[in-house]
Amino acid sequence: MRKRIHSEFIGVAAVAILATLLLSVWVFYDLFQFQVLDDLKTYVNVVKDTINEEDLIREDQLYEDADIRFTLIREDGSVVYDSLADSDVMENHLGRPEIEEALEKGSGQAIRKSETLDKNTYYYALKLDDGDILRVAKEADSIWSILGTALPVIGVIALLIFGICVILARVLTKSLLYPIEKMAGDMENILEIKTYPELMPFITMIHSQHQDIMKNAKMRQEFTANVSHELKTPLTSISGYSELIETGMASDEDVRRFAGEIHKNSSRLLTLINDIIRLSQLDVEDQDISYTELNLYQLAEACVDMLQINAEKHDVILRLEGGPCTIYANRQMIDELIYNLCDNAIRYNNPGGSVIVRVGSEKEEGVLSVWDTGIGIPKVYQKRIFERFYRVDKSRSKSTGGTGLGLAIVKHIVSQHHARLELESEEGIGTKITVYFPKKSKQA
């Protein structure tokens, strides 16, 4: 790219230099011709008044040395006098263009090639008062001879300009490519690079894409690290307990207890893996999700029924309120969403507390809210609880079997359905999570 731009610059410069020089020679030659003819004209005008025919013939000698040639021609074309040749043997001059023109207009001029290529002969003819024609001629350099003389100088100048152009092209190419090269080298600070405005949209786009890529990479890295960590803890327990049983040193009662621990930890592993699989399924975009019309109230009812025993275990009252509401959604996902919200509301509750699930219908939206009188979420953590593996109180969450993926899944489902979620929570008082679903399909 750099090489190409550079050589193109130089190519354009070379053509420009050559064209300019040739054109100036041509213009100069035009001026030169004009000047020569003008000189001849002046000459004739001076001479015609001072010299008469007899003097001319008599004082032949006068003009012999000068490189100017005089010819006196009668109206009929016969040559009376010529300062260079013998007028007696000279042919009739009527056919010469400058004479023809002079007879017609009073004066005429012509340029003719000389015998040698590098000379031209310039003629100027003037009609005198007595009808004769006085003609002067002079040899001067032709364009080829001028070009030949000027060529070395032209060459030097051209080379000089060309050299300057090469240097300028290099500087220009460099400054042209500088921002682009800098961009490629330093993606992080791409916005700070000073560049031409035409590049700005391109830079902004690359910048945001780069940031997305980096963010994704970081998230993936964190996720992998978290997954490994989460898997390691229960596996370590399982491995430890089974080793104790293997050595045969544990009493029957211990074996039973250890088996219980192994069971608990492997169940935890299973839920964890299930959640991870679920998340990665949700992560795969462009998957075919089937949307149908669902009665949100019915789904919530089924979920509340299913979790009733669980609530009793936690000494929590679980209640459903509201009425029918139809939304356009994916059934499995909505089931998951309601389950996760209710599960949390029971799990992070206090004995004797309560959970109210409410389904309602607003103009454009179906509304589901899960409200509990539980431990609440401190303000500082409220944003973070939707992150994967994030748990406010790790020990409490773990003792209740939480992996920190439930709300991440909820968030995902909410965005898949173009729904929106509101969280209100106060530490020690309770939490209310409300999801607003659009009633009409926005997916199509």
Q: Does 413 bind ligand ATP (CB under 6 A)?
A: no
Query: Which CB atom, from 83 or from 354, has the smaller least distance to ligand ATP?
Result: 354
Cβ neighbours around 15 below 10 Å, total: 10
- CB under 5 to 8 A by kind: which of ligand ATP, Mg ion, none does 304 bind? none
Amino acid code (one letter) for 377: I
Q: Under the criterion CB under 6 A, does residue 93 sit at the interface with ligand ATP?
A: no
Residue 226 lies near ligand ATP (rule: CB under 6 A)? no
Quote the CA–CA distance of 392 and 409 in Å, as a whole number: 17
**Of 37, 303, 405, 435, which lies in the binding site for ligand ATP, with binding defined by CB under 6 A?**
405
Sign of the alpha-carbon torsion through 409, 413, 418, 420 = negative
Cβ neighbours for 390, distance < 8 A, ≥ 6 positions apart: 381, 384, 404, 407, 408
Residue 347 Cβ, how far from ligand ATP at the closest point, in Å? 6
Site residue total, ligand ATP (CB under 6 A): 24
User: Kind and range of the H or E element at 347?
Assistant: helix 331-347
Pick one of 93, 138, 358, 391: the residue that binds ligand ATP (CB under 6 A). Answer: 391
Q: Does 367 bind ligand ATP (CB under 6 A)?
A: no
Residue nearest to ligand ATP (CB): 406
- With binding defined as CB under 6 A, does residue 314 bind ligand ATP? no
Least distance (Å) from ligand ATP to the CB of residue 305? 20
> Does residue number 404 form part of the binding site for Mg ion (CB under 5 A)?
no
- Per the listing, tokens 């193109």 go with 8
In the bound complex, what is the minimum distance in angstroms from residue 184's beta carbon to Mg ion?
45
- Whole-angstrom distance, CA of residue 165 vs CA of residue 155: 15
The residue behind tokens 């019309």 is: 293
328-347 residues near ligand ATP, rule: CB under 6 A: 340, 344-345
| Complex with ligand ATP: residue 298 or 332, whichever CB lies closer | 332
Distance between CA atoms of 325 and 340, rounded to whole angstroms? 20
Least distance CB 268 / ligand ATP (angstroms): 10
Q: Taking a C-beta distance cutoff of 8 angstroms, is the pair 143, 29 a contact?
A: yes
CB of 401 to ligand ATP, least distance (A): 6
Please enumerate in sequence order all residues whose Cβ is within 8 A of that of 265, keeping only pairs 6 or more positions apart, or say none. Answer: 234, 235, 237, 238, 241
406 binds Mg ion (CB under 5 A): yes
Phi/psi for 440 (5° steps) reads: -95, 160
Can you give the length of the chain in residues?
444
Q: Which of residues 277-316 bind Mg ion (CB under 5 A)?
A: none
User: CB of 255 within 8 A of CB of 263?
Assistant: no
Q: How far is the CB of 331 from ligand ATP (least distance, A)?
A: 20
Binding-site ranges for ligand ATP (CB under 6 A): 275, 340, 344-345, 348, 372, 374-377, 385, 390-393, 397, 402-408, 431
